[in-house]
Structure formats: C-alpha cells, structure tokens
C-alpha cells in the first residue's frame, strides 16, 4: 500500500539541505530574498515530512481497519458455520429420535400383533377343547343311550318272557 509522494523522504532531505544552504548564503550575502527562499524550501521539506507521516498513519489506520473488517468477517463466518453445525446436529438428533420412535412403534405393533395372535390361538385352542369335550360328551351320551336302549330291550324281552300276552308299546 505504500506509495511515494514526490519530494518526500530523499526529496525532503534535499529540500531541507537546499533550504539551509540558501538561508546561510542569504544571511552571509545579506540577500533577504535568498534567505526566504531557503525558508520556503525548509517549509516544503517539513510539509513533505508531515504529509509522509500522515500518509503512513493513514496507511496504518487503513490496514488496521482492513484487519478489523476481515476479523469481523471471519467472526461472522465462524458464527455462521457454528450455527450450521448446530443445525446439522439438531437435524441428526431429530433423525435419530425419529428412527428410535419408528423402531418403538414397530416393536409395539409387533408385540400387539403377537398378543392378538396369541389371544386368537388361545381362543382357537379353547374352541377346539370345547369341541372335543362336546364330541366326547355326545359319544358318552350315545353310548349311554345305547346302554339304556339295550337295557330297555332286555327289559322288554324279560317282560315278554314273563308276560307273553302283553302288548308292546314301542
């Protein structure tokens, strides 16, 4: 960023030296105009030095301002990246929670389905047991009926033998 101003540094040294020489020559010769010309050279050299100092100060201030601006931009970028990272972490957490919730719901559904199937199996087993009991009860009733009929038939036969004239009431 450094730019030279004509008459600064080396030129300022030359103007100062020329000014001193002219002042001394004017003082020695009594030439007031030459003496004033020497003072003007020194003033120009001083003005150039002040301008150079001001330019250097301005340059340093500009560099400091540029640095502060860049630091500010970096801080904004850092905050933006931190916010994006936090958003990514939140999104990942939401995704993990969703997966866990879906797994929980799926597990609950499987358990409910298994419970329903187990209940259905128990009901079917109970119905099967009731059917077997009913079949056994029917078989027992048929056997009892056959036994009763056989006894009744024997009783009729005995009654026929004991009273051959009786009428059957079948």
Structure confidence by residue, pLDDT tens digits, 31-74: 899 888 888 888 888 888 899 999 999 999 999 999 999 999 99
- In the chain, the percentage of residues whose pLDDT exceeds 90 is 62
Tokens for 91? 């999104």
Half-sphere exposure of 37 (CA within 13 A, CB side): 12
pLDDT of residue 11: 62
Domain ranges of the chain: 10-162
Mean pLDDT of the chain: 88
The separation between the first and the last C-alpha atoms of the chain, rounded to the nearest angstrom, is: 138
Helix axes 32-162, 10-29, angle to 10 degrees: 160
pTM score of the predicted model: 0.43
């Amino acid at each position: 960023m450094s730019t030279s101003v004509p008459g600064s540094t080396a030129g300022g040294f030359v103007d100062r030296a020329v000014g001193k020489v002219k002042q001394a020559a004017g003082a020695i010769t009594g030439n007031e105009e030459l003496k004033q010309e020497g003072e003007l050279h020194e003033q120009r050299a001083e003005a150039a030095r002040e301008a150079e100092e001001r330019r250097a100060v301005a340059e340093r201030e500009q560099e400091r301002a540029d640095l502060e601006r860049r630091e500010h931009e970096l801080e904004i970028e850092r905050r933006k990246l931190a916010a994006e990272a936090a958003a990514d972490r939140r999104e990942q957490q939401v995704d993990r929670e969703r997966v866990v919730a879906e797994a929980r719901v799926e597990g609950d559904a499987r358990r409910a389905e298994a419970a329903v199937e187990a209940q259905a199996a128990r009901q079917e087993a109970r119905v099967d047991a009731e059917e077997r009991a009913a079949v056994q009860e029917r078989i027992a009733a048929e056997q009892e009926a056959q036994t009763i009929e056989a006894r009744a038939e024997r009783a009729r036969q005995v009654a026929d033998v004991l009273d051959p004239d009786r009428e059957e009431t079948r």
